[in-house]
Structure 1
Amino acid sequence: MDSSMDVRYKHGTDIHVVRACYEEAGADLLAIAGVDTVEILLITPTSSMHIASFNVGTRVTALTWSPRVASPTASRDWSIEVVAAAENYKLYLLTKSAEHEEHVFEFGGGINGHHGKINDMTFCGGRGEESMRYLATVSDDKTLMVWDLNPPTTGPKPTDSDDSLMEDIIIEFPQPTAYVMTFPHPLTSVNSHPTSSTELLVADCRGSIFIKDWRADPDASEQNPWHTSSTVELVEPYALASTVTGTSKRWSGSVSWRRDSFDIIGAAYGSGFALWDLSDLRGAKPSVSGTSFPEGNGQFRWSPTSPEYFAISSSSPAHGAAINVHHAGYTNASPVQFPLGPRPLYVRSFDFLACPGIPRIAAAVGRDLIIFYIGVLP
C-alpha cells in the first residue's frame, strides 16, 4: 500500500466502530466511536476534518447513519443524524445541524430494550417517507428489534379552549417503541437493502442467515416464531459445522447485501466467505465460497460505489492488521491484501466510503483511523 495516498486520523482512545454514510448527500461523512464518544469526520481526498463530537459516556458497540443527513459540502442547511448502540444496551440518537449544536437523545434501555450486547443495526424504511422512521437492531440476547422512532402519539388532542394553557404544558418527545422478533441463537449482523422497506438480512452466530419480512403478521406461526416471516433461510455449511462440533472459537458472522442487486448476498464466517445468488438458490447453500484469512475473518463489506468488490478484515492479532479485497467475478483468485499494522494490532472495524471515484476504505487500527484507496490513482 502506498502510504502517500493514506489519510490518517489520530484519535485519543482506541477506535471501536467505523461507519461510513452511504447517502448521496452525505457520501463524504464518516462516523467513528472511541471509548465514550462518537466523532463525525468530513473526508476529502487528502484530509479529514472534524465537524461534530457526541459524548455518549460509555463504549459504543455499533453505529448507523439515518437517511436524514446532508454534508456541509452538499448543503448550507447541513444536518447529521446517527444512532449509536452502547455496551449498556441503550441506544442514542445523535443529531447536529447548521442551526443546532450536538444533541444526544437516549432510548431503548430497561425492560423494553435489549438485554445483551447490540452487535449491529440499520435503518430499514426503504427509500420512501418512512426511510428514517424505522431502525433495526440485533443482539447477543437472540432478538431482532425494529424500533419506530416516530410512534403515533396517544391521548386527547387539545381543543381551541385549551390553547391558552398550552404554553404551561411540557410535551415530551415520545419514546420509540420496538417490535421484537426472537431467534434460537445470538445474532451478529443485520442489513437492509435500499430497494426494500420490508426485508431485513439477519445473521446468527452459527452460520444461518435469514431474510425476514419484518412487517409480516407476527401471529402467523406460534410454534416457530423465528420462522414466522422468513422469506428465505440460507446456511453457511462450514460455519454451521464448526459451531455444532465446537471448533468455532467465538461468536462471529458478518453479512451484507450488495447494494446494486437485491439478489446478491455476501457473508464472512470463521476463516471463510460465501456468496449467494437469490435468483439461483441451490438448496440454501452458497453459490461461491472461499477462504480469506485462515486465522479468522472479521467484517464483510461490499463497496457501495464499485459493487463488484468486497472486503474482509482479519480478526486475529496473530496476523496483524490487514484487509483483503476480493473481486466477486474472480473469487478463485488471490485477494489483494492491504497490511495496516504489525502484530498484535488488528482491524477492529472498517467500512467502504461512498465517495465517487476509486473505492476507499476507512479502517480502525488501535487509535488510528487509516483511509486508503484500493486502486491506483490515475
Structure 2
Amino acid sequence: MDQHWDHSSEIHAIRPCHSDDAGDLVAVGGLHTVEILSVTSTECKCIASFHVGTRITAIAWSSATVSPRRSDNWRIQLAVATEDYALHLLSKTSTQVENIFPFGGGLSGHHGLINDMTFVGGWSDDSSRYVATVSDDKMLMVWDLSPPSEVRHTLGDDDSMSDGSPSPAPRAQPTAYVIPFAHPLTSISSHPQTSKEFLVSDCRGSVYLTDWRSDVIDSDDMDQELGGGALRHPNLVELVEPFSMAGSCMNFPVPWSGSTAWRADSVDIIGGVFGNRFAIWDLSKLRGGKPLHSYAGNLEGGHRFRWCRTYPEHFAISSQNPARGAVIQVYNLNFASAQPNPLVLSPRPQFVRDFDFLSLPGIPRIAAAVGKTLHVFAIGEE
C-alpha cells in the first residue's frame, strides 16, 4: 500500500538504512531537522527527531544501527551534512534521548557544499567508525569518529565535578584523511564486500574506484630517496562516461551533475547517470574505462541513480528537471535498452528531490521526497 508522510518543511535529503537489523528505518532531512521514520506496510511512524538548525544536504547510516522493531536494546546512529559545510553525528538509544555531536566545521573540514557521504563498507567495526564525505571543494575526506586515545582531552586540575569527582572527558573531535581530486565531487558510495574502496564520481563524467587506505608505500628505496613514505594516488581505476566527458571538455553547459552507485550483490557492477544518459560498467571487463552499456534515457537532467537491494537486477533513475513532473524511471539490467517503467508521483512543476530503495523484504519499495512529502510505494504488485 502506498504511503505518504508530510514534513514540516521542504525535504532536501532522504536515506533508508540498509543494515540487516534496521531495514525499516528512513532518515528524512529538511530545512532544520532530521526525522527518523519506521516504515511498515501500513504506516510511517516517527521515532526520533533531531533539530540540527540548518538545511540538510547529505545523510549516511552507521552499520551499528538497530531498529526498535528488531530489539529492545535498539540504537540509532547516523551522520548528516549541512549547507554550512558542517557535519553532525546523530544518535539515540533505548535508554538515551537524541544527541547531536557536531564536527568537521571551520578550518578542519570542507570549504564547499557537501554533496554526498557514506560510512565505509565491509562487516568489521570500521563500518561504524569511518565516514567519508565529498564536496564541491574537490575533496574526499574520510573521518575517524573514534580517534586514538592520545588525541583525546586530558583531565587537568580544574576538570572536576562539584563533588570532587573527575568530570567525564569530552568526546574527541574526529580526525580526517583528505584525498584531493581535480574537479568537484558529486557522489560517493561504499560496498558491503569491501572496507578499503569507495566509488567516487565527479561533475565531468569521471568515476573513480578509490582505495583510501593505501596512501603510503612502505619501501626502503622510497625512504632513501624521499626521506619517508612516498605518497601515491589512491585511485585504483578511473571509469569514464564518454559523452559527458566530451561535453564538459568542449565547455558545453551541463546543469545537472552525475550520480553513481555500486550494485549490492556484486563489487564489479557499477551504474551511473549523467545528464540524459546512464551507463553500466563491469570491472571484470574494463574496456579502457568505458562503460559496458551506455544508453540515452528518457529523462533530461538525471540526478540520482539507485540500485535495488532486494532485487539487485533492478535500478532506478530520477531527474531534477520539473518539465515532466516528479518521475522515477525503473529499469531491469537484463533489459537495460528496453523502455523503463515510469512512476509518476506528482505533476509538474514538482520534481523528485531525492529517493532510494528500501531494504524491506518482498516487492521492492521506494522512498522518494517531493516537496514536503515523503512517498513510500512499491514498484509492482504481489
Fold-level match, TM-score > 0.5?
A: yes
Deviation at 1:167, TM superposition (A): 2.4
2:81 paired residue number: 85
Q: Deviations over 1:29-85 (max 9, x none)?
A: 000011110000000012100100000000000001000111111000111001110
Once residues 187 and 266 of structure 1 are traced to their aligned partners in structure 2, the CA distance between those partners, rounded to angstroms, is 16
Q: Deviations over 1:137-165 (max 9, x none)?
A: 00000000000000002179999xxxx99
Once residues 231 and 274 of structure 2 are traced to their aligned partners in structure 1, the CA distance between those partners, rounded to angstroms, is 21
1:168 paired residue number: 166
Alignment check: 8 A CA contact 2:204 2:245 kept:
yes
2:67 paired residue number: 71
Judging changes above 3 Å, is the alpha-carbon distance between structure 1 residues 125 and 301 closer, same or farther for their aligned structure 2 residues?
closer
Q: Deviations over 1:274-324 (max 9, x none)?
A: 000001111110001112234211100000111000000021011110000
Alignment check: 8 A CA contact 1:125 1:134 kept:
no
Counting only pairs closer than 5 Å after superposition, residues 120-135 of structure 1 correspond to structure 2 as 120-135=116-131
Alignment equivalent of 1:215, drawn from 213, 216, 229? 213
Helix, strand or coil: the match of 1:329? helix
2:25 paired residue number: 29
User: What is the number of residues matched between the two proteins?
Assistant: 368
1:319 paired residue number: 324
Alignment equivalent of 1:117, drawn from 107, 113, 117? 113
TM-score for the superposition, normalised by structure 2: 0.92
1:94 paired residue number: 90
Deviation at 1:100, TM superposition (A): 0.5
Q: Deviations over 1:350-378 (max 9, x none)?
A: 0100001100000000111111101112x
2:346 paired residue number: 341
In the alignment, structure 1 residue 308 sits paired with structure 2 residue 313:
yes
1:178 paired residue number: 176
Once residues 301 and 47 of structure 1 are traced to their aligned partners in structure 2, the CA distance between those partners, rounded to angstroms, is 24
Once residues 182 and 226 of structure 1 are traced to their aligned partners in structure 2, the CA distance between those partners, rounded to angstroms, is 12
Deviation at 1:215, TM superposition (A): 0.4
Answer with 99-108 or 240-249: which moved more: 240-249
2:236 paired residue number: 231
1:108 paired residue number: 104
Helix, strand or coil: the match of 1:41? strand
TM-score for the superposition, normalised by structure 1: 0.93
Deviation at 1:169, TM superposition (A): 4.2
1:46 paired residue number: 42
Alignment check: 8 A CA contact 1:292 1:324 kept:
no
Q: Residue 154 of structure 1 aligns to which amino acid in structure 2?
A: E
Alignment check: 8 A CA contact 1:94 1:103 kept:
yes
Helix, strand or coil: the match of 1:147? strand
CA RMSD of aligned residues (A): 2.2
Judging changes above 3 Å, is the alpha-carbon distance between structure 1 residues 147 and 155 closer, same or farther for their aligned structure 2 residues?
closer
Once residues 10 and 112 of structure 2 are traced to their aligned partners in structure 1, the CA distance between those partners, rounded to angstroms, is 22
In the alignment, structure 1 residue 287 sits paired with structure 2 residue 292:
yes
Alignment equivalent of 2:249, drawn from 244, 248, 264? 244
Helix, strand or coil: the match of 1:276? strand
Alignment check: 8 A CA contact 1:94 1:102 kept:
yes
Once residues 170 and 52 of structure 1 are traced to their aligned partners in structure 2, the CA distance between those partners, rounded to angstroms, is 26
Deviation at 1:250, TM superposition (A): 2.2
Helix, strand or coil: the match of 2:284? helix
In the alignment, structure 1 residue 190 sits paired with structure 2 residue 195:
no
Q: Residue 177 of structure 1 aligns to which amino acid in structure 2?
A: T
Judging changes above 3 Å, is the alpha-carbon distance between structure 1 residues 155 and 227 closer, same or farther for their aligned structure 2 residues?
closer
Alignment check: 8 A CA contact 1:181 1:226 kept:
no
Counting only pairs closer than 5 Å after superposition, residues 357-372 of structure 1 correspond to structure 2 as 357-372=362-377
Q: Deviations over 1:80-110 (max 9, x none)?
A: 0011100010000000111111000000001
Once residues 15 and 125 of structure 2 are traced to their aligned partners in structure 1, the CA distance between those partners, rounded to angstroms, is 23
Q: Residue 240 of structure 1 aligns to which amino acid in structure 2?
A: M
Deviation at 1:246, TM superposition (A): 2.4
Q: Deviations over 1:158-183 (max 9, x none)?
A: 99xxxx99823441111000000000
Helix, strand or coil: the match of 1:322? strand
1:60 paired residue number: 56
Alignment check: 8 A CA contact 1:39 1:54 kept:
yes
Q: Deviations over 1:215-246 (max 9, x none)?
A: 01247999xx9971111110011111121222
Once residues 7 and 231 of structure 2 are traced to their aligned partners in structure 1, the CA distance between those partners, rounded to angstroms, is 41
